[in-house]
Structures are given as C-alpha cells and as structure tokens.
Amino acid sequence: MPIYEFHCNRCNKDFEMLIIGSDKPSCPVCKTDDIHKLMSACGFTSKGEQGQTTRASAGQSSCAGCSAGSCASCGH
C-alpha cells in the first residue's frame, strides 16, 4: 500500500500517510489540507540466497543521525 510523505504549509511539519483510493490527506498536527506531497526515495526488502533479509533504498538520508533513509521519519 502506498505511503506518501507530505509537508504542511501551515505548521511547517513533514509527515507520512497511508493513502488508499481517493483519500484526501490532511496534516495530523493542525488538520489543514494546505499540504503538498514530497518526493521520497523508494525502498525495498528482499531475501538473499540464504534467506537473509536485505534492505535497500534509492536514496540516502541527508541527516547524519538518521538511519531511516528519509528525513521525514526523524523529523528533520
């Protein structure tokens, strides 16, 4: 299911939201719909030959302290 990253133009917060069908997202902090979708790196999980899990991302985090690969995840 698609999880998108958004930025709120009113309270300046970044957040992630699961969007299903024609759902209309709004900011979970200030409840406004004055938001825009952010470009985010896609990631995936795959199984190796011996069953080990490998996680990969199409981008790197610009936050030195963030291991999530997305600054929206750590709030920066």
Amino acid at 33: D
Q: Is 43 helix (H, G, I), strand (E, B) or coil?
A: strand
Burial state string for 17-34 with b = 16 or more CB within 10 A and e = fewer than 16 = beeeeeeebbbeeeeeee
Amino acid at 41: A
The answer to whether the pTM exceeds 0.85 is no
Is the Cβ–Cβ distance between 4 and 37 less than 8 Å? Answer: yes
pLDDT digits (tens, 9 = 90+) for 18-50: 999 888 999 999 999 999 999 876 666 667 667
What are the backbone dihedrals phi and psi of residue 56, each rounded to the nearest 5 degrees, phi first?
-140, 160
